[in-house]
Structure 1
Amino acid sequence: MGYNIAMVTDFFYPQPGGVEFHVYHLSQKLIDRGHSIIIITHQYGHRSGIRYLTNGLKVYYLPIETVYRSASLPGIFISFPVLRNVFIREQIEIVHGHATWSALAHEAFVHARTMGLRTVFTEHSLFGFADLGSIWGNKILKFTLVDAGHVICVSHTCRENTVLRSGVESAKVSVIPNAVVSRDFKPRKGDENASGTKKEEREEQDGGGGDDDVVTIVVITRLFPNKGADLLNAIIPKICMADSRVRFVIAGDGPKFLDLEQTREKYFLQERVELLGAVRHEEVRDVMVLGDIYLHPSLTEAFGTVLVEAVSCGLYVVTTKVGGIPEVLPGNMTSFAEPEETSLVETTLEVIQKIRSGEIDTTHFHDSVGKMYSWGDIARRTEVVYDSLDLDEVNESLVDRLATSICLM
């Protein structure tokens, strides 16, 4: 017998991102396993009201304003009337919230517990303990997860971080990683419509006079400081000066996009650094197959789904050794650097030479990723978490809190 589940988060399509991707694909696989899933998020521009996606997935785009990076205005009772109405109308049994910075998820969590519903929370990111934003987020997390049914983290590093930040019992925290739809991220050789190899495509772009030794480095990321945009901006000129046969293709948008444009102009790298701006998720594969190396200079990362996507496309990964990134891929698929300029430049240049010499073989990467990361497996493991939730415990917790409130009156 399936559950009626509400996925609640501020971060969902049409905005691209890791949380959005996770929520959508997990919901699709849970529907395939016989569960009834709805998604509750805030409106995106003119997209408001109820929409239906593939497989009958129902999405509530609530008329709530956002304040920063698609996060809704924090509050306790702002969305209570509409959330209560949706929970009752859809006969929701489990409320599954996603992401610390989703104020809507926290608010739904509070109201779900008062209504006697079971709750699960998934954390997708890592946060510190000293800066003002992290202190505020950690306090909110402690308040909403004080009696959570269960917490899911996308990596073991994320699990340790969440337990320290929230004070949740470690026994109530599980690790379930992200996954990819490997058939959507095939290498160029697996594209039936492909006209040639990556080198042939580069030669065509160069007017037929391309150099076989040219190595293309692909970067697809949100251009924010925590994603290493400043570090990327610093290392591009150094790598280009150290090796004249290196080319960059950078996709993504954010406040640091202008800095990259200025750096490209300053060092006259217009022919070697291509800035694509924001790309849709369905276009990510087409960008990745242009490259030989995927560069990920992030300063903090709980998992890094884009790394799995890159490897599935047949790229070798160069990334920083931070957060949960070392847990994602085996050593033969990636090289790690410290999150600072010199280390990242040296590591990247070493990998470039290995690519040219043929020391790195990526032909088996796609098949290996398909076996390591599957949304079907992620949905099955999430279902086990749902089955572990004790409704009697939820009701006892609710009665205890109500009794405490009455005694304090």
Structure 2
Amino acid sequence: MPLQITGALGDPDLIRLPWELPLEEWPARHLVDLPRGISRHVVRFARLGGKVYAIKEISERYAKREYRLLWDLARLDAPAVEPVAYVTGRDEGLDSALITRHLQFSLPYRAVMSGTLRPDTLTRLLDALAVLLVRLHLNGFYWGDCSLSNTLFRRDAGAFAAYLVDAETGEMHPMISEGQRLHDIEVAYTNLFGEMLDLEAGGLLHPSIDPLDTAEQITTRYHRLWEEITQDEIIEEVDWHKVENRIRRLNLLGFDVAEMMVRRKVGTGRLIVRPKVVDAGHHQRRLLRLTGLDTEENQARRLLNDLDGFRVARGLRHEDEAIVAHRWLAEVFQPTIEAIPDELRRKLEPAQLFHEVLDHRWYLSETAGSDVGLPAAVKSYVDTVLVHKPDEKALLPDKDQ
């Protein structure tokens, strides 16, 4: 069978990669060194035309299956890596390969750690993993191997956003069953316990972190979020404000309620209310609609708060929201990003840079006892904070370098 690459190929040079060699033996000129998580398979990052692709050696059956599952998730706008193609017909004895696009600014959980995994960092990772699993389940996806190792994390203001990176064991269904949900959580519990024990054995776990307690936390956090999103609520007819409060709570969690199912409880004056359809990305969509900025959810919430503060400070409360957003972009956001030197700007996403500048401004202002202003905060942030941060984008030299 001749070599064949099947998929949404955006780069014809993919066919010219040394597919006749095992991935472990590929020449360094084709590869870029990026942080990798733990994997059962050989994974490498290839550089082509300024883009980075993750390539995983895997059997033909599973390469095709995972490619299709990732496309299903992409169509649902679920948080997962983007599939590019799968490769079959390599030389005898060589597995097929799955190609995905590298998720820029993303890190495996071990790369998030700076020496020792501290409790506050772990809490944020667990929150992100619980949100990811809930979003997948809402889309009818059974993961089958939920773990920190099978997840990539992107900084999202003060939190993290999680993305599925390995769908090898997954299944897509019209609606996930209760048994599948509970089994997914049981697998997550087992995997997380093992990962914490591994970190503990390597001296990478903070002494205050208990592996068993951590594994139990992912179960607790998942169930709390799932119940908030899906449970019925019984209210008196006169207490409709409780439904509005429920919607606000979901919005704060980053979810939109597209429909509500309401029915009267037989023989009473009570109503049973259930969120009919729930979509993630409430603040993301509002920011994208107003400004065109595509960010993570918590970043969007932070930028919208700053936009709302700009509206009040400039006396624009009665002005059209879209006009205010345009002025905020031109007068606040873009000048802040442009004030950061080009060679440092690539270290973090623009929305994350802006969030960190706002945080830095707050600390400086608290110390000074008055607002230091955005220009001074940007200069101080660049000089004292940003220069020391590692690059989290895939930085690629020119092909001929």
TM-score between both structures, scaled by the size of structure 2: 0.30
TM-score for the superposition, normalised by structure 1:
0.30
